[in-house]
């Protein structure tokens, strides 16, 4: 891998422990690692990118999404979560075979990368196909087996799902791509029994003690009410009874929140909008991160997570887009802005710290995945997951407050170049890894082929 120099960058947002912002410095990348930040002299043979009108920041981390659902964008409009699930699950069972999942994952990963998102925690069935598709676009894709009590859209029995998890580390190695943790994705407490949730947690601890367990939790008030009526517990209480949320045996402090021990299994709640006060205390003791998905929650009228209260209660927060069938896009910039606006609204305080939002979309997302030692900030020794924005734009001029600029003004259209693991995967707003025209043509063709079957399945549902 040749040495890459990002020369004379106008602004570098490091997102280090002090939220340092640098001006007019260069970054040298060697063998996928950030080797120098400062006055870097280019050498013969270096690949040099002119940064005089560029802002560099860590690649964004999407902490909850379903990439392959790009192919289902727009099929479930004007409905709440239950109506959405009814339509989408019917369509998925009809059309989302492994080949379609792989195609959709490549398309979703490309959309993400072009928007500056370099890492995705992606929950979807046919997980091997999804991982192959996402890696083909050049992204850092954190996927894994999904779990349902019944056969689900992929038709697997429970024993086959557990076997798939046990085989997952070797499959990850065989597919390749940037380094990621082993992850398991039980869909939710309303699709998995407590006994089965305990099976997943036990198997994951056995094969990957520092792995990631990701599940939907308390997305709507109706979910909580249903779980309480049927089982007498909230979703968080069910997860605790399954052994998924024990108090952390050891904690390290970094910044304002306590951090999980490096060898602790990470747990990420998708949504977490309606966690009770008791739920929040349980989740905080276990070091849980909530993946806040404001776009999906607003569009489906699921509710508004209280950012400031959740943080005050010790909850780690990251940011996610959810899938394209619910939020309709994978735009992390929009999700950051929505998170900031909702935080101001729910707290009644307009003084929302933009630095918190930037950290949630970068280093805190990396921390949730147990990868903060590798990615999430621009520091010497870390892997080079870097995004460049074009500051030479009217809406980004002038720059008075850098975090506020990123949260309230910047957008995915400003992204010019993206590096993942030190490889340039987007150059001058174009993918270097896939033939975009061919991918779009194949996506449209598959969507046309699938439309009739999906429409029939949705009508039957």
Say which range, 91-100, 352-361, 448-457, has the weakest mean pLDDT: 448-457
pLDDT at 401 over 60: yes
Mean per-residue pLDDT for 333-343?
A: 97
Percent of the chain at pLDDT exceeding 70: 92
Q: How many CB atoms lie within 10 A of CB 189?
A: 26
Q: Which pLDDT does position 453 carry in this prediction? A: 64
Whether residue 282 contacts residue 237, with contact meaning beta carbons closer than 8 Å, is answered with: yes
Range of 305-309, 325-329, 446-450 with top mean pLDDT: 305-309
**408-456, pLDDT tens digit by residue?**
999 999 999 999 999 999 999 999 999 999 999 999 888 776 666 666 6
Number of separate domains in the chain: 2
Same domain, 174 and 240: yes
Answer whether residue 279 is part of any domain.
Answer: yes
Query: If you average pLDDT over every residue of the chain, what do you get?
Result: 92
137 lies in the same domain as 210:
yes
* Residue 235 lies inside a defined structural domain of this protein: yes
pLDDT attached to residue 252: 42
261 has pLDDT over 60: no
Question: Which residue's entry shows tokens 């693991």?
Answer: 421
Residues 50 and 75 in one domain: no
> What average pLDDT does the segment 134-142 reach?
98
Distance CA 308, CA 268 (A): 18
Domain boundary pick from 331, 350, 368: 368
> Are 165 and 126 part of one and the same domain?
yes
Residue 272 lies in a domain: yes
H or E segment and range at residue 166: helix 158-175
Q: Are residues 159 and 283 in the same domain?
A: yes
Identify whether residues 89 and 124 lie together within a single domain: yes
CATH code of the domain in which 403 resides? 2.30.40.10
Mark whether 214 and 189 lie in a shared domain. yes
Q: What range defines the domain where residue 8 resides?
A: 4-58+377-428
| Of 308 and 152, the one with more pLDDT | 308
Residue 336 has pLDDT above 90, yes or no: yes
Closest CA to 382 of 98, 179, 239: 179
Q: Return the pLDDT at 76.
A: 67
Mean pLDDT (whole number) for 390-404: 97
Question: Among 73-77, 181-185, 220-224, whose mean pLDDT is lowest?
Answer: 73-77
Do 351 and 415 belong together in one domain? no
CA pair distance 414, 54, nearest whole angstrom: 10
Structure tokens, 176: 């390749």
- Per-residue confidence at 51, pLDDT binned at 50, 70, 90? very high
Distance, in Å, from the CA atom of 380 to the CA atom of 357, rounded to the nearest integer, reads 23
The token pair at 172 is 């990850």
Separation of alpha carbons 35 and 31, rounded Å: 9
Residues 147 and 232 occupy one common structural domain: yes
Read off the CATH number of the domain in which 68 is found. Answer: 3.20.20.140
Asked whether residue 97 carries a pLDDT value surpassing 60, the answer given is yes
Residue ending a domain, among 368, 393, 414, is 368
Residue 263 has pLDDT above 70, yes or no: no
Whether 405 is in a domain gets the answer yes
Q: Could you read off the pLDDT of 171-218 as tens digits, one per residue?
A: 999 999 999 999 999 999 999 999 999 999 999 999 999 999 999 999
**Phi/psi of residue 117, each to 5°?**
-95, 115
Provide the pLDDT for residue 265.
85
Buried b (16+ CB within 10 A) or exposed e, 126-154: bbbbbbbbbbbbbbbbbbbbbbbbeebbb
**269 touches 290 (CB < 8 A):** yes
DSSP class of 164: H
One domain for residues 237 and 283: yes
Is 382 found in the same domain as 261?
no
Q: What pLDDT sits at residue 348?
A: 87
Domain presence at residue 434: no
Across the beta sheet with 146-147, the strand order is: 146-147, 183-186, 212-217, 266-271, 289-292, 316-319
User: CB–CB of 164/193 below 8 Å?
Assistant: no
pLDDT at 452: 67
pLDDT for the residue numbered 150: 86
Provide long-range contacts, Cβ within 8 A and 24+ apart, for 34-40.
34/378, 34/379, 34/380, 34/381, 34/382, 34/383, 34/384, 34/386, 35/3, 35/380, 36/380, 37/12, 37/378, 37/379, 37/380, 40/5, 40/7
Q: What is the pLDDT, as a whole number, of residue 256? A: 45
pLDDT of residue 249: 59
pLDDT value for 254: 43
Q: Is 376 left (phi over 0), alpha (psi -120 to 50) or beta?
A: left
Q: Do 163 and 295 share a domain, yes or no?
A: yes
Query: Is 435 among the domain residues?
Result: no
Closest-CA residue to 285 (of 245, 254, 236, 253): 245
Q: Of the ranges 32-36, 80-84, 168-172, 208-212, which one carries the lowest mean pLDDT score?
A: 80-84
- The mean pLDDT value for 281-298 works out to 96
Q: Is residue 458 part of a domain?
A: no
Q: Is residue 451 part of a domain?
A: no
Q: In the structure, what pLDDT confidence band is assigned to residue 250 with cuts at 50, 70 and 90? A: very low
């Amino acid at each position: 891998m040749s040495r890459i120099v990002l020369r004379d960058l106008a602004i570098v947002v490091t997102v280090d422990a002090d939220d340092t912002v640098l001006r007019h410095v260069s970054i040298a990348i060697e063998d996928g690692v950030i080797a120098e930040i400062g006055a870097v002299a280019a050498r013969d043979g270096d690949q040099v990118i002119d940064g005089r009108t560029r802002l560099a920041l860590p690649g964004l981390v999407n902490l909850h999404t379903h990439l392959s659902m790009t192919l289902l964008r727009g099929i479930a409009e004007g409905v709440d979560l239950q109506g959405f699930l009814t339509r989408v699950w019917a369509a998925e069972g009809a059309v989302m075979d492994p080949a379609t999942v792989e195609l959709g994952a490549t398309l979703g990963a490309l959309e993400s990368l072009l928007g500056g998102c370099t890492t995705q925690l992606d929950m979807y069935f046919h997980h091997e196909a999804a991982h192959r598709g996402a890696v083909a676009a050049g992204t850092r894709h954190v996927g894994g087996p999904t779990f349902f009590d019944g056969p689900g859209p992929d038709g697997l029995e429970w024993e086959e799902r557990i076997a798939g998890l046990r085989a997952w580390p070797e499959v990850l190695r065989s597919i390749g791509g940037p380094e990621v943790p082993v992850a398991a994705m039980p869909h939710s407490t309303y699709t998995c029994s407590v006994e089965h949730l305990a099976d997943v947690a036990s198997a994951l601890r056995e094969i990957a003690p520092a792995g990631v367990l990701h599940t939907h939790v308390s997305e709507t008030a109706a979910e909580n009410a249903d779980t309480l009526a049927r089982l007498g517990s909230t979703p968080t209480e069910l997860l605790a009874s399954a052994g998924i949320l024990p108090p952390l045996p050891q904690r390290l402090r970094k910044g304002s929140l306590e951090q999980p021990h490096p060898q602790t299994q990470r747990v990420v709640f998708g949504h977490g909008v309606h966690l009770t006060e008791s739920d929040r205390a349980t989740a905080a003791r276990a070091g849980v991160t909530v993946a806040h998905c404001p776009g999906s929650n607003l569009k489906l009228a699921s509710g508004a997570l209280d950012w400031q209260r959740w943080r005050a209660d010790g909850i780690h927060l990251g940011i996610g887009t959810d899938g394209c069938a619910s939020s309709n896009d994978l735009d992390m910039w929009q999700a950051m802005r929505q998170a900031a606006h909702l935080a101001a609204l729910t707290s009644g305080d307009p003084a929302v710290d933009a630095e918190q939002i930037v950290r949630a979309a970068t280093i805190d997302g990396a921390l949730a995945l147990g990868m903060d030692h590798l990615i999430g900030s621009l520091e010497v020794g870390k892997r080079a997951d870097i995004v460049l924005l074009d500051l030479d734009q009217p809406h980004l001029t002038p720059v008075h407050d850098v975090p506020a600029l990123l949260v309230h003004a910047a957008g995915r259209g400003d992204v010019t170049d993206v590096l993942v693991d030190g490889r340039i995967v987007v150059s001058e707003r174009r993918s270097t890894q896939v033939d975009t025209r061919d991918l779009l043509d194949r996506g449209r063709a598959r969507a046309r082929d699938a439309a009739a079957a999906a429409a029939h399945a949705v009508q039957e549902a």
